[in-house]
Amino acid sequence: MKLHRLVTVTILLVIAPVAAARAQGVEGTRSGTLFVGTGLSLAGNAINEGIGTIDGKPSVLVEQALSNHFSDALRLRFTGSMGLDYNKEAFATFAYGKYNGTERIVGSVSGFPLRARLSNADAFDIEGGLRYYLRPEGPLRTYVAGAVGLRFLQATDATFRVVEVGLTLADQPYFEGSTLFIFGGDAGISYDMSSKTALGIELGLRRQGKPGAEPLFADPGLQGVNDTGSRWSLPISAFATVRF
C-alpha cells in the first residue's frame, strides 16, 4: 500500500511541472507587433445619384462605390499585447492608413462625361480588443480577435472636370475631417522563428461610420450626392511579433 502511494506521488510530481507549463499558453506574456498591409473595400458609396444642374448645365451623377474611387494604398499598425490567461490576450493598436484617389467618370454634364477625382486622404486609428488563441502555444499559432476604436479621417476634396465644355471645379470640399467609430474582427496565423519572435499573416474586417458631408452643389437636386462614405473593408496584413 505504501509502495502504491509512493508511485502515485512520484507520478504527480513529474506531471505537475509539465501541466503547469502547458497551462501557461499566452498568460503573462507581453508583445509588440508591427503590421504592414493594405485593404479591400467591400461595401460603401463615394457618390449618390442625383439630377440637376452644374454651372447652369443639365447634369446627372450616378451612384459610385468607394472601391471605384479609393484604393487602400498602405496600412501600418503597431499593437501592444498582454496575455490575460491561457488563450486570451488584450491588445491596443495605433494605425495609419493612406487612401489614394482615382479619377473616374461619375455622370454627365450637357451629355458629356463628368469626371471626378477624390483627393488622397490619411486616417489614424486607435483600437482596443481581445484576441482568442485557438492554438495558444507551439510554433504554429492561430487566433481570432474582436476590436473597437476610433478613426480620425482627414478631410477630402474633389475635382470635377468636363473636358469637352472646358469646365473644371477644382478642390471642392467633399468629406469633412471626421472622428468615426470603427469595429470589426481579425483572424490570423503566426509561426515562431524563435522563443521571442514570430512572423504571420492576418485577415480582418472593419466597419467605418459615415464622415460628414460638405455642401457641394447649389442645385437642390444634387445636394446630398456626397452624403455617404460609410464602408466595410477587408484589411490584409503581414506582421512581425517580438515577445518580452
12 occurs within a structural domain = no
Is 185 within 8 Å of 206 (Cβ atoms)? no
Within-domain flag for 94:
yes
CB 225 within 8 A of CB 47: yes
Q: Residue 162's closest CA among 217, 108, 118?
A: 108
pTM score, whole prediction: 0.78
Sheet holding 50-54, edge to edge: 50-54, 57-61, 104-109, 112-118, 156-162, 167-175
- When divided into structural domains, the chain yields a total of 1
Alpha-carbon span 95 to 103, nearest angstrom: 27
With respect to residue 77, please indicate whether it lies within any of the assigned structural domains: yes
Query: DSSP characters for the chain?
Result: -HHHHHHHHHHHHHHHHHHHHHHHTTTT-EEEEEEEEEEEEEE-EEE--EEEEETTEEEEE--EEGGGTEEEEEEEEEEEEEE-SSSEEEEEEEEEEEEEE--EEEEEETTEEEEEEEPPEEEEEEEEEEEEEEE-SSSEEEEEEEEEEEEEEPPEEEEEEEGGGTEEEEEEEEE--EEEEEEEEEEEEEEESSSSEEEEEEEEEEEE-PPPBPP--SSTTTTTTT----EEEEEEEEEEEEE-
pLDDT at 46: 87
The pLDDT of residue 115 is 92
Please compute Rg for the chain using Cα positions: 26
Domain holding 77, by residue range, is 28-243
The reported pLDDT for the residue numbered 78 is 96
Specify if 67 maps to a domain.
yes
Confirm whether 6 is domain-assigned: no
CATH number at residue 60: 2.40.160.20
Tell me if 21 is assigned to some domain: no
Please check whether residue 204 lies inside any domain of the structure: yes
In a domain, 5, yes or no: no
- Contact between 95 and 125 under an 8 Å Cβ cutoff? The reply is yes
pLDDT the model gives residue 36: 95
Q: What is the pLDDT along the chain (244 residues), one digit of tens a residue?
A: 454 554 444 444 444 444 444 457 888 899 999 999 988 888 888 889 999 888 888 999 998 888 888 877 789 999 999 999 999 999 999 999 888 888 889 999 988 999 999 888 889 999 999 999 998 888 999 999 999 999 999 999 999 999 888 889 998 999 988 999 999 999 999 999 998 999 999 999 999 888 888 888 888 888 889 888 788 889 999 999 999 8
pLDDT value for 9: 43
